[in-house]
């Protein structure tokens, strides 16, 4: 039994709230209580502009009655506040069975060992990171005209209890830093950025080279000053390791989320067991990868994070599940029920999604590409799960000519179709790397990891302006 000080609300109170939520019917009730503290600092235009701190705490309560979900949230954690939120959430449930709720022993997710949570680190130490990065970026070239560096840390504790008897607490510590650089020259202004983010404390910076982070951001901006427009048309594309597993996140990850599948808005619906990708493709979603940005111990519905193989050597194995969709299918959640905060309903989300290593040599992949685009870094992306059409933007890219990287290219979006692209992956190297990202879905943002080794896609449409 965990000591009471670890609980955001007492187990007895959680039990009373759940019983109230089911008093007028309903099949399932859940209370999610969250306390988040975060702090951040921004250095911009040569000045530490602002330190900020934020505190947010409250509870979200949901009731499932048949296919309908009732939801209410409150910042009032008193018994009265929670009970009235329970009644608001329950207002959609009418009739049906109801009964007393009995919670199990509180399972406590053992917090990953966090060396130095952000709130234990002197602010001077955080600021010195910012000034160091600023100096390194500005020293990268006379054309650097602006540098912005941001640091942020958060500690998110939550308790989730439900009428199935689940009672669990979780404690997540995250730390991030980003550098953004503007360079200016005769050709105008260009920007470059680089970031690091982990489910870890300030000890992250024991292994992260802040100077390298800054010079990488500066290099991206500087290189593009002399960049030529990207090609317009369909060409082979080589993605550098860790440049952006976002391709796989967008091209197939979202389409494998059970809510899209159940609603028939996924191109992967009804295709379990089919060859949906080339045999070089094995895609995994794994919420347990140590200290990655999308990592946690239990998801926001109280289910343990797990490693889920989605595509195995090209064959579609499974989708991603949250509690609501899993319940309906009579199976268990895959640990992918996540929410931005207590103010949001949980839904099916990715954690760390990545393509596993192949056997090719990354240099050879480039050497064997007569003409194409080499993407050293991707920006964001977006997908329409119904059609599978997705885009992703480059933020550092080079032209490949006769097997060599030649000129830098200006930023452009690449567009493709998920199921088609997966069959066009014709080389996968063994140099896996991951990058952090923020995934937006239905208005909610959650931290995710993306990863891939160097891969080549035989044909992708590049949205540049230069004649293909």
Partner 1 sequence: MADRPTSGDGDLAALARSLSEQARRGEQVEVYAARSVHTDVRAYDGEVESVSQAASAGVGVRVVIGGRQGFASAGSLDAVMVADTLADARENAAFATPDEHGGLPAPDGVEGASLDLWDESVLVTPVEAKIELALALERRVRGAGSRIRQVSSADYGDVAWESAVASSTGVLSASRRTSCTLAVSAVAGSGADSHTGVGISAGRGVAHLDLEAAADDAVLRATRLLGAGKGRSTRCTVVLDPRVTATLLGVLGGALSGESVTKNRSMLADRVGERVAATSVTLADDPTDQRAFTAARFDAEGLACRRNELVVGGVLRGFVHDTVSARRAATVSTGSAVRGGYGTTPVAGCRALSLAPGTLSPEEVLESVGDGLYVQSVTGVHSGVSSVSGDFSVGAEGAWIHGGALAAPVREMTVASTLQRMLHDIVFVGADVRWLPGPATGLTLAIADMAVSGQ
Min separation Cβ 114 and partner 1, Å = 22
Give the 3-state secondary structure of residue 413.
Answer: strand
Give whichever of 246 and 320 is closer to partner 1, judged by the CB atom: 246
Query: Does 284 contact partner 1 by CB under 8 A?
Result: no
Which of 167, 267, 310, 316 forms a contact with partner 1 (CB under 8 A)? 267
Min separation Cβ 250 and partner 1, Å = 10
Min separation Cβ 230 and partner 1, Å = 7
Query: Does 200 contact partner 1 by CB under 8 A?
Result: no
Angle at 382 between CA 381 and CA 387, to 5 degrees: 140
Tokens representing residue 310 in the block: 């989605």
Which of 69, 163, 334, 336 forms a contact with partner 1 (CB under 8 A)? 69
Tokens representing residue 82 in the block: 């929670």
Which of 304, 380, 403, 430 forms a contact with partner 1 (CB under 8 A)? 380
DSSP 250: I
Q: Are 26 and 98 in contact (CB under 8 A)?
A: yes
Give the separation between CA 135 and CA 126, rounded to whole angstroms.
15
Site for partner 1 in 70-99 (CB under 8 A): 70-76, 85, 88, 91-92
Give whichever of 195 and 288 is closer to partner 1, judged by the CB atom: 195
Phi, psi at 364, each rounded to 5°: -65, -35
Min separation Cβ 263 and partner 1, Å = 5
Query: Does 263 contact partner 1 by CB under 8 A?
Result: yes
Give whichever of 73 and 157 is closer to partner 1, judged by the CB atom: 73
Tokens representing residue 117 in the block: 């949570």
DSSP 304: B
What Cα–Cα distance (Å) separates residue 76 from each residue in 73, 195, 410? 9, 36, 50
Site for partner 1 in 355-374 (CB under 8 A): none
Which of 191, 275, 368, 423 forms a contact with partner 1 (CB under 8 A)? 191
Report how far Cα 326 is from the mean position of its chain's Cα atoms.
Answer: 21
Min separation Cβ 229 and partner 1, Å = 8
Query: Does 213 contact partner 1 by CB under 8 A?
Result: no
Q: Are 312 and 282 in contact (CB under 8 A)?
A: yes
Neighbouring residues of 119: CB distance < 8 A, sequence distance ≥ 6: 37, 39, 153, 155
Give whichever of 15 and 148 is closer to partner 1, judged by the CB atom: 148
Which of 2, 24, 27, 56 forms a contact with partner 1 (CB under 8 A)? 56
Give the separation between CA 296 and CA 156, rounded to whole angstroms.
11
Give whichever of 246 and 350 is closer to partner 1, judged by the CB atom: 246
Q: Which stretch binds partner 1 (CB under 8 A): 68-76, 162-170, 200-208, 427-435?
A: 68-76
Query: Does 182 contact partner 1 by CB under 8 A?
Result: yes
Q: Are 461 and 236 in contact (CB under 8 A)?
A: no
The beta strands (E) that lie in 4-143 are given as 28-44, 47-65, 68-74, 107-108
Query: Does 115 contact partner 1 by CB under 8 A?
Result: no
Give whichever of 108 and 410 is closer to partner 1, judged by the CB atom: 410
Q: Are 231 and 156 in contact (CB under 8 A)?
A: no
Min separation Cβ 159 and partner 1, Å = 17
Rg of the chain, C-alpha, whole Å: 24
Site for partner 1 in 423-462 (CB under 8 A): 461-462
Site string for partner 1, 128-167 (x = CB under 8 A): -----------------xx-x-------------------
């Amino acid at each position: 039994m965990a000591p009471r000080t670890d609980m955001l609300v007492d187990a007895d109170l959680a039990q009373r709230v759940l019983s109230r939520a089911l008093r007028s019917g309903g099949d399932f009730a859940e209370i999610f209580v969250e306390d988040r503290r975060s702090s951040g600092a921004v250095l911009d235009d040569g000045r530490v502009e602002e330190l900020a701190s934020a505190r947010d705490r409250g509870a979200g309560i949901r009731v499932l009655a048949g296919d309908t979900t009732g939801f209410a949230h409150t910042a009032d954690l008193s018994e009265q506040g929670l009970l009235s939120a329970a009644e608001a959430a329950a207002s959609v449930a009418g009739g049906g069975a109801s009964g007393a709720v009995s919670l199990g022993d509180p399972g406590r997710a053992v917090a990953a060992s966090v060396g130095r949570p952000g709130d234990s680190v002197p602010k001077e130490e955080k600021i010195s990171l910012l000034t160091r990065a600023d100096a390194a970026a500005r020293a990268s070239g006379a054309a650097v005209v602006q540098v912005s560096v941001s640091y942020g840390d958060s500690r998110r504790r939550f308790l989730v209890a439900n009428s199935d008897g689940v009672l669990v607490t979780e404690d997540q510590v995250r730390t991030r830093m980003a550098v953004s650089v503007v360079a200016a020259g005769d050709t105008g202004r260009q920007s470059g950025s680089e970031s690091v983010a982990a489910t870890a404390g300030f000890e992250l910076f024991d292994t992260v080279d802040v100077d390298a982070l800054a010079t990488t951001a500066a290099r991206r901006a500087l290189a593009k000053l002399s960049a030529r427009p990207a090609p317009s048309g369909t060409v082979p594309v080589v993605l550098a390791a860790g440049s952006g597993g976002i391709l796989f996140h967008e091209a197939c990850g979202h389409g494998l989320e059970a809510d899209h599948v159940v609603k028939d808005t996924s191109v992967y619906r009804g295709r379990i067991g089919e060859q949906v990708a080339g045999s070089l493709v094995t895609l995994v979603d794994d919420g347990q990868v140590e200290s990655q940005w999308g990592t946690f111990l239990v998801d926001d519905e109280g289910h343990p994070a797990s490693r889920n193989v989605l595509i195995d050597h090209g064959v579609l194995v499974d989708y991603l599940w949250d509690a609501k969709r899993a319940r309906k299918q009579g199976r268990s959640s895959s640990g992918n029920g996540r929410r931005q905060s207590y103010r949001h309903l949980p839904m099916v989300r990715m954690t760390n999604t990545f393509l596993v290593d192949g056997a090719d040599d990354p240099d050879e992949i480039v050497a064997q590409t007569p003409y194409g685009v080499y993407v050293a870094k991707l920006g964001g992306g977006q997908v329409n799960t119904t059609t599978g059409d997705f885009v992703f933007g480059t933020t550092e890219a080079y032209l490949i000519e006769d097997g060599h990287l030649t000129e830098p290219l200006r930023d452009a979006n690449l567009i493709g179709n998920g199921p088609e692209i997966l069959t066009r992956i014709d080389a996968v190297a063994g140099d896996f790397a991951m990058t952090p990202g923020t995934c937006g879905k239905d208005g909610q943002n959650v931290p995710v990891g993306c990863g891939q080794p160097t891969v080549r896609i035989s044909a992708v449409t590049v949205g540049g302006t230069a004649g293909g």
